[in-house]
Structure 1
Amino acid sequence: MAAESMKNEPKIDPKEILEGIVEWIEIESPSHDAKAVNLMVDKVEGQFRDLGLNLDRTPGCDGFGDILEARTPAEWSTGQGKGILVLAHLDTVHPLGMKEKELKIRQEGDSVFGPGIYDMKAGGYIAYYALRHLIRQGKRTKLPVTFLFIPEEEVGSPTSRARIEEAARGHKYALVMEPGRDGDKVVTSRKGVGRFTLTAKGRAAHAGVRHEDGRSAILEIARQIVRIEEKTDYARGITCNVGLIRGGSGVNVTPAECSIDVDLRVPSMQLAEEMTHWFLNLEPIGKEVELTVEGGMNRPPYQKDAGITALFQKAQAIYRELGKELNDVPLTGGGSDGNFTAALGIPTLDGLGADGKGAHAITEQIYFSSLQPRTYLCARLLETLE
């Protein structure tokens, strides 16, 4: 019998990983339900306490759940100084009850379904299991490790951004456990995300008797929508999407007010500044109508630089230990908390979670076959980064 197979050493067990992931997705945790999210925080807090980590739980604010930080004790790492920041979020986009309805927790072949399983409870659990695997083996990390679990990433991390950026400044690397992509791929760059609200104020009038006296806010916004959507430029990586519109008080009344919410995605800080300036300087198209514009960049662009390239190459080398090749997604339009760390110049590797598909959809699923290699990658990054 080969010496390798004689080793009595803990192995990464994908069935055990899946059991843990299922425990997490059984606890549904929509972003705006602080009580539900905090049930998840309770679960994760208990698991990291059992591992012996130092815990810091910050009460939520503005109706969101708590922020959980778990740090490895100083004696666990062989090196000192700035360490590894692991980012994950515990909230999901799915409302309570999805696991009994359209998104029942189940396995069909290689696919495992459930609310938030892909985005991103599988990734968060993989990070926990990876550290536990090292502890089981009696191994130490070269650098201190901090796990930061976020309660409202799906709505832009409004209450946790400052905490993420503060933590990032004290660390050498950031590993983001968002879902993997398209097979053996991770994320090394993301577009920046902007949010803008346009409000037009016109003048109400009777639509039949005194139509000429009215100034339609809806007409003004309709013209602005065409102007905004035409700023989408796929060649430059710019997308503008008017996603919400509100206006009017009655079908027989010239609408006095109308507003829209706009989503902007850009690949660089230069374009972020250019488009922000453009939005904030929009002027009315119609006569005797007021237009106000509010907003700005919600997440800065996450651009692949030399530090990120070097970190990605280390991950590639680890993946080759499995006989597999790791690639990166050239540029993804979705934002994550990795945007914040990368914008600060911290080498950031994102998309380290389970592979799958259907984020935010009723087809959300992970691939069971991705659990072992993804956990191995995470564990070896924690073990070897220096």
Structure 2
Amino acid sequence: MKEYIRFKQDEMLNLIEELVNIDSGSVNKAGVDMVGNRLKAEYEKIGFRIHEVPQREYGNHLIIQHKKADVPEILAIAHMDTVFPFGTAEERPFKRIGNIAYGPGVIDMKSSLVTLLYAMKALIKEGSPHYKNVQIILNSDEEIGSPSSKELIINAAEGKKYALIMEPARKDGSLVSSRRGKGNYTLNVIGRAAHSGIEPEKGRSAIEELAHKVIQMHELNDHENGISVNVGLIEGGSSVNTVSDHASAQMEIRIAETDQGLRVEEKMEKICSRTDVPGTEITLEGEINRPPMEKNKRNRQLLRKIMLVGEEMGIEITDTSTGGGSDASFTSAAGIATIDGMGPVGGNAHSDKEYLEISSLTERTLLLAKVIENLSE
């Protein structure tokens, strides 16, 4: 497999270039579907069956497994969407400088899409039967929290033993063994409007009430224990000479452990149960939309298996924790051994400096193929 994958490196890079040069932001259904159709054709060539899950608002999701697969035990997940707006690919298309490739989505995660495909091809070329032990989900909305694919992933996880999430490896090559969970909330305040010059005493400022609540929410931060509460957007009022009758704030929380979410929500609800500005009203809406991926016993055991495969290949596999979210949270919370960061090495995702280390492309493709073999045996 090693020689086959090395021989295919240029072919892999050509496909990565093709995918990078397709705009596929999460809300660009046409672009995401173009990526999906391109990959669908490649998988069909090697005997895989594709079940397309149509979506009206987002790109269609793909569930892929070999025609001869019976009950696959390994779930591999990769996403086809990026964070970039339409036109980005034309502004700064794929380019290669030495061992580095650049372009929108090159590492997050169009290179991973190609890595996964060629790991399957390598297993088939080797005559290994273990490509039949993998079910693949390519979803279209991971970058916005997987609103339409979350249930699909959770359902696919049922009965699986392992989940391999194809987010890129970190800059130092580390896999991801834990991620913080997150929730999104909106705080709405209703006040009473009044002219700020003629009769301000008749007003009840929604902005003033919101200001109290923003400070109180930020006091819930406990960074040492992995809890962060951030009010990221606020708005309110109608004019500078009017006591505001409405204001709102959008906030996000991050948690390291599942039960932290419940505790933080209780504290947020308590804060909103009373007003600091009499005559105002408060509502709080939202939920935890991604549970944390905890480094539990199952995940540690899977990590150890991957490390042993790395040792056989002469690669030192390390792991790390990250605050960012991914679909690993759903499979891990579903009780399946999960490891993330199984893609190639790169960095600066979501920026105009996003890059792929080309030399890691063949290495991580081989690692993925051998991990699938090891887990299947």
TM-score scaled by structure 2?
Answer: 0.95
1:377 paired with 2:367, answer yes
Match of 1:367 among 357, 366, 372: 357
Q: How does 1:77-226 map to 2 (within 5 A)?
A: 81-101=71-91, 103-141=92-130, 144-226=133-215
Query: Using the alignment, how far apart are the partners of 1:226 and 1:156 within structure 2?
Result: 27
Structure-1 separation of matches of 2:174 and 2:132: 25
| Identical-pair percentage | 36
CA distance in 2 between counterparts of 1:36 and 1:114 reads 16
Partners of 1:11 and 1:361 lie apart in 2 by 29
Gaps of 5+ in 1: 1-6
Local SS of the residue matching 1:270: helix
Distance 1:314 1:225, change over 3 A: same
1:242 matched residue in structure 2 = 231
CA distance in 1, matches of 2:356, 2:266: 40
For 1:66 and 1:197, the matched residues in 2 are separated by 29
Contact 2:68 2:132 in 1 (8 A): no
- Structure 1 residue 199: deviation in Å? 0.4
Other-structure match for 2:295: 304
Task: Answer whether contact 2:28 2:86 (CA < 8 A) is retained.
Answer: no
Q: CA–CA distance in 1 between the matches of 2:137 and 2:202? A: 57
Aligned pair 1:69/2:58, yes or no? Answer: no
Mapping for residues 13-32 of structure 1, pairs under 5 Å = 13-32=8-27
DSSP-derived class of the 1:135 partner: helix
Q: Distance in 2 between matches of 1:351 and 1:164?
A: 17
C-alpha offsets along residues 144-194 of structure 1, whole Å, 9 cap, x if unaligned?
211101110111111111110000013111000001113221011111111
Give how far 1:74 is off. 3.0
* SS across alignment from 2:154: helix
Paired position in structure 2 for 1:315 = 306
Q: Is the 8 A contact 2:5 2:366 kept in 1?
A: no
Cα distance in 2, alignment partners of residues 232 and 110 from structure 1:
41
What letter matches 2:49 in structure 1? N
Shift, 1:312, TM fit: 0.8
Cα distance in 2 for partners of 1:97, 1:340 equals 32
2: CA distance, partners of 1:74 / 1:275: 47
* C-alpha distance 74-170 of structure 1, shift in aligned 2 (>3 A): farther
CA–CA distance in structure 2, aligned partners of residues 127 and 82 of structure 1: 16
Deviations 1:327-373 (A, max 9, x none): 000x2101101100000110001011121111111111111121121
Give 1:321 shift: 2.5
Tell me the SS of whatever aligns to 1:171: coil
**Structure 1 runs, 4 residues or longer, greater than 6 Å off:** none
User: Is 273-282 or 46-55 further displaced after alignment?
Assistant: 273-282
CA displacement at 1:282 relative to structure 2: 2.6
* Paired letter, 1:339: S
Partner of 1:275: 264
State whether residues 142 and 384 of structure 1, in contact with CA within 8 Å, keep that contact through their aligned partners in structure 2: no
Does the C-alpha gap of structure 1 residues 149 and 232 become closer, same or farther in structure 2, counting only changes over 3 Å?
same
The equivalent of 1:343 in structure 2 is: 333
CA–CA separation in structure 1 for the residues paired with 2:131 and 2:116: 16
Native 8 Å contact 1:123 1:179 kept in 2? yes
- How many pairs align? 373
Structure 1 position 10 matched with structure 2 position 4: yes
1:46 corresponds in structure 2 to 41
The normalised TM-score by structure 1 is: 0.93
The answer (yes or no) to whether the contact 2:187–2:249 under 8 Å persists in 1 is: yes
**Cα separation, 2, equivalents of 1:317 and 1:363:** 33
Instruction: For 1:88 and 1:304, locate their aligned partners in 2 and report how far apart those are by CA, in whole Å.
Output: 21
Mapped partners of 1:307, 1:8: distance in 2: 29
Letter in 1 for 2:23: E
Aligned letter for 2:215? V
> d(CA) in 1 for partners of 2:2 and 2:84?
42
Q: 1:293 aligns with which of 284, 302, 321?
A: 284
Query: SS in structure 2 opposite 1:74?
Result: coil
Q: Distance in 2 between matches of 1:107 and 1:278?
A: 50
Q: Please give the secondary structure, in 2, of the residue aligned with 1:93.
A: coil
For the 8 Å contact 2:216–2:271, the answer to whether it is kept is no
2:298 and 2:144 mapped to 1: Cα distance?
28
Q: Is the 8 A contact 1:193 1:266 kept in 2?
A: yes
**For 1:365 and 1:299, how far apart are their aligned partners in 2?**
27
Alignment partner of 1:262 is 2:257? no
Structure having the higher helix fraction is 2
Structure 2: distance between partners of 1:143 and 1:187: 25
For 2:352 and 2:299, how far apart are their aligned partners in 1? 33
- Which structure 2 segments of 5+ residues have no match? none
Find the aligned partners of 1:304 and 1:372 in 2 and give their Cα distance. Answer: 28
Name the SS of the counterpart of 2:371 in structure 1: helix
Secondary structure, counterpart of 1:245 in structure 2: strand
Work out the CA distance in 2 between the residues paired with 1:44 and 1:324. 29
Structure 1 pair 227/341, CA: closer, same or farther in 2 (3 Å)? same
Equivalent-residue separation in structure 2 for 1:143 and 1:347 (angstroms): 19
Distance 1:183 1:9, change over 3 A: closer
Which shows bigger deviation, 189-198 or 15-24?
A: 15-24
- CA change 1:11–1:365 in 2 (3 A) is closer
Alignment partners' CA distance in 2, 1:296 and 1:285: 24
